[in-house]
A and B are shown apart, each in its own frame.
Chain A
Amino acid sequence: EDQVTQSPEALRLQEGESSSLNCSYTVSGLRGLFWYRQDPGKGPEFLFTLYSAGEEKEKERLKATLTKKESFLHITAPKPEDSATYLCAVQAFRTDKLIFGTGTRLQVFP
């Protein structure tokens, strides 16, 4: 069964304190791994797609990496506006559907 586990559930950082969020996955034939950002009371917003182990994507202070078992979302020198819940999802080749993790709630304090 395809499965996605995100850790930690919640993370509190001081502004400028870099850290990483983890997404561990089990899927038979990975088509893609996706990161989304969700602000309170809003729908998820697409961030990155990763297709194969070793791939990296960057956007501003965020960098996503992928191995055969997990993905990391690295946040460098975060700012309070980076506070949000970050969701990870996987898609297998055999299905059209995304399997989402439960997310990591990030809070960045000034």
Chain B
Amino acid sequence: NAGVTQTPKFRVLKTGQSMTLLCAQDMNHEYMYWYRQDPGMGLRLIHYSVGEGTTAKGEVPDGYNVSRLKKQNFLLGLESAAPSQTSVYFCASSVGITLGEQYFGPGTRLTVT
């Protein structure tokens, strides 16, 4: 039982490049989330999904897109990376009923130069 996994662990992009972060969970959770964590800012929600085929905007969605084609996977895309998107990205999942009990992945450290 791997829980929540994220790939890649590290990535360096140049401004304007695109990339996709992959999140996978094996707990059959309905809800999945993408956060970014910056020093002094705390975790901020980018997008989330309440089930397969659904997505919704969080607190800081601009510059990101997401897709949830399969229940176990949640993809985060950056179409044209900007230095302001340098951050650590965390994926999380939850059963749905008690939304605060979220299970987090190990994170992806992204640097945009």
Binding site for B on A (CB under 8 A): 4, 31-34, 41-46, 49, 87, 89, 91, 96-98, 100-103
B100 touches A89 (CB 8 A): yes
Interface residues of B in 40-90 (CB under 8 A from A): 40-45, 48, 50, 58-59, 90
Are B107 and A43 neighbours in the complex by a CB distance under 8 Å? Answer: yes
Please state if B100 and A96 are interface contacts (CB–CB under 8 Å): no
Is there an interface contact between A43 and B42, defined as CB atoms closer than 8 Å? no
- Could you write out 28 A-B pairs with CB less than 8 Å apart? A32-B98, A41-B106, A42-B106, A42-B107, A43-B4, A43-B90, A43-B104, A43-B105, A44-B104, A45-B104, A46-B100, A49-B98, A49-B101, A87-B42, A89-B43, A91-B99, A91-B100, A96-B31, A96-B48, A96-B50, A97-B45, A98-B45, A98-B100, A98-B102, A100-B44, A101-B42, A102-B40, A102-B42
Residue of A nearest to B105 (CB): A43
Report B's interface with A, CB cutoff 8 A: 4, 31, 40-45, 48, 50, 58-59, 90, 92, 98-107
Q: A4-B42, A89-B100, A96-B99 are in contact. List 7 more A-B contacts (CB 8 A).
A: A31-B100, A34-B101, A45-B104, A46-B100, A87-B42, A100-B43, A101-B42
In the complex, the answer to whether B107 meets A97 with C-beta atoms within 8 Å is: no
